[in-house]
Amino acid sequence: MPRPVTVADARLGVNQVPHLLGARLLTVSKVESIGPQMARVHLTGEPRDRVGAIPFLPWAAGDHVKLVIPTEDGEVVIPTVVNERANWEETVGSTRAYTIRTVDQITGTLVIDGVLHDHGPAGSWFINAKEGDRVGVMGPRGSHVYPPGYRHYILIGDETALPALGRWLDEPGLNAAVTVITVAEDADAYPFPAPELADVDAHHLVLPSGPERGPALAAELSSTLDASATPESVFVFAAGEAVMLKDVRRALKTAGHPRHAQHIDGYWRAGTVALDHHALEVDED
């Protein structure tokens, strides 16, 4: 049965905040292993490249930068930016988008978590990253600022979205019921923080990457929506592989969940190299 549709309220929807496009060449200052297939890389820069200028807004867990990955011989050239446009033809090295896990404005440190895999330049870079390595960082171009006033948040993601979900759980003042629904190939894929005020209920599915993931996540989502103690006040954030998220979109549509109370973001698509995920933020059904 469809759930009641909440009247749209600007305070309960997602707001977009544009930023000036920054271009920086940063240096790896620390690398941590934070899971079976995940590394945390700390990046710092020279005074003129300090990351203090990188926007780090509260309730903007989906914020991301584009990394310019060095070539095999270590060469990396970031594009110049003129009138808020980057000249990507100047770029030397592959580019991939990654979530901003955190920014320390005092020490000038940007933290990025990356999945380790050897079938692409970014995954390989994270496998081999070491102190002193250089990498280009572009952006972010803008933020999606999520509403803090809901009584229940449902957060959904695969391996690539785990850093964004972690940032969600770090949000200041998060005081609500939070259901975290994740899927990965490993049982202990990511170290999530434990918010002091939120009541967190975690559901982790251990599944290989493939067509089983979408229906499994959609079933968990539907069950969670049906059991919500506050069905009139639920916000859903879901991110990860684009085809997988189609099942999530369908589950929300079937439930009659209001569009202003959800944000679905396809970070990548199986078989597609360097996907422009901005093109997938609309309903693909």
Q: pLDDT tens across 5-51, in order?
A: 343 465 689 999 999 998 999 999 999 999 999 999 999 987 655 55
- The total domain count for the chain is 2
CB atoms within 10 A of CB 9: 12
Are the C-beta atoms of residues 143 and 19 closer than 8 Å to each other?
yes
pLDDT the model gives residue 72: 83
pLDDT the model gives residue 223: 98
Q: What is the CATH number of the domain that holds 224?
A: 3.40.50.80
Domain assignment of residue 159, given as a range = 144-284
pLDDT the model gives residue 282: 43
Is residue 151 located within the same domain as residue 278? Answer: yes
pLDDT the model gives residue 86: 87
Q: What is the CATH number of the domain that holds 62?
A: 2.40.30.10
Does residue 12 lie within any of the structural domains?
no
Residue 114 DSSP class: E
Does residue 219 lie within any of the structural domains?
yes
pLDDT the model gives residue 141: 92
Long-range CB contacts for residues 8-11, cutoff 8 Å, separation at least 24:
8/258, 8/260, 9/260, 11/147, 11/149
Is residue 156 located within the same domain as residue 268? Answer: yes
Does residue 189 lie within any of the structural domains?
yes
Which residues does the chain have with pLDDT short of 50? 1-8, 278-285
Is residue 221 located within the same domain as residue 273? Answer: yes
pLDDT the model gives residue 9: 61
**pTM across the whole model:** 0.90
